[in-house]
Amino acid sequence: MAIVKIKGLVKRYPMGGQKFTALDHIDLEFGKGEFCGFVGPSGSGKTTLLNVIGALDAPSEGSTVVLNEHVETLSQKKAAGLRNHHIGFIFQTYNLLPVYSVYENVEFPLLLLKIPKEDRKKKVLDALEWVGLMDKIKSKPAQLSGGQCQRVAVARAIVKRPELVLADEPTANLDSENSYNILEMMVKLNKELETTFIFATHDEKVMKYLRRKVHLVDGKVTKDEIIGKGAQ
């Protein structure tokens, strides 16, 4: 069953008087449990495509169905609901809320979902255990290393057990050891929880883990590469 179904997707940005085409007639499908990514040079449209899938950006043309919702027609509120319930985001710059502790950062998505307190606690601790940060529960983001911050971000993305995790250059600010740690963790999550991961990256380390690489150049898919087993 396809989790993401994209047909004839075009995204244009106004540029001066003209329009700039960032995504040019994309057709793609992603199934449940995939561990895949968009690769390509800078400016090729990786982030834009990820944002359209995440219902953060409205497409100009075509249909994009994410978890049975047509994102092109989704209201602002419905889009928020879709993200809230089903999609986890991981960013290059972690984007933790600086005034809140590790625990509270991970708890935040559950608060939005209005999950009762006891349940919340269990889920947060579960997620933090996953990423191996049980000893930093009370720390503030400023007291953590980059690798630890990104692990908090991963915990925040997966705490609500989303079907889909979208990760935009998650390793760009990390050294290789931390990058591998994070990637191993994601692979484990992907296997055990069947969470679908879609990356946008030009990091070789990430690419080694991908089981499917969608190559983008100038907003077009140039190659859709399935790799037998994903390197380990």
Task: Find tokens 């990820």 and name the residue.
Answer: 50
Binding residue for ligand ATP, selected from 3, 30, 39, 48, defined by CB under 6 A: 48
* Partner whose footprint covers residue 37, from Mg ion, other proteins, ligand ATP, none (CB < 5 to 8 Å by kind): none
Of 42 and 75, the one with the shorter C-beta distance to ligand ATP is 42
Does 51 interact with Mg ion (rule: CB under 5 A)? no
- Kind of pairing between the strands at 212-217 and 61-66: unpaired
Binding residue for ligand ATP, selected from 8, 13, 146, 231, defined by CB under 6 A: 13
Enter the tokens of residue 149: 């911050």
Binding residue for other proteins, selected from 108, 137, 187, 202, defined by CB under 8 A: 108
Phi, psi dihedral angles at 171 (to 5 degrees): -105, 0
Does 176 interact with other proteins (rule: CB under 8 A)? no
Does 44 interact with ligand ATP (rule: CB under 6 A)? yes
Instruction: In whole angstroms, give the CA distance from residue 66 to residue 69.
Output: 5
Does 171 interact with ligand ATP (rule: CB under 6 A)? no
Binding residue for Mg ion, selected from 3, 34, 38, 47, defined by CB under 5 A: 47
Tell the smallest beta-carbon distance from residue 90 to other proteins (Å).
10
Enter the tokens of residue 42: 């800078």
Binding string, 128-167, against other proteins, x = CB under 8 A? ----------------------------x-----------
Enter the tokens of residue 226: 């399935």
Of 14 and 228, the one with the shorter C-beta distance to ligand ATP is 14
Helix crossing, 146-158 with 102-112: angle to 10°? Answer: 20
Where along the sequence are the contacts to ligand ATP (CB under 6 A)? Answer: 13, 15, 20, 22, 42-48, 200, 202
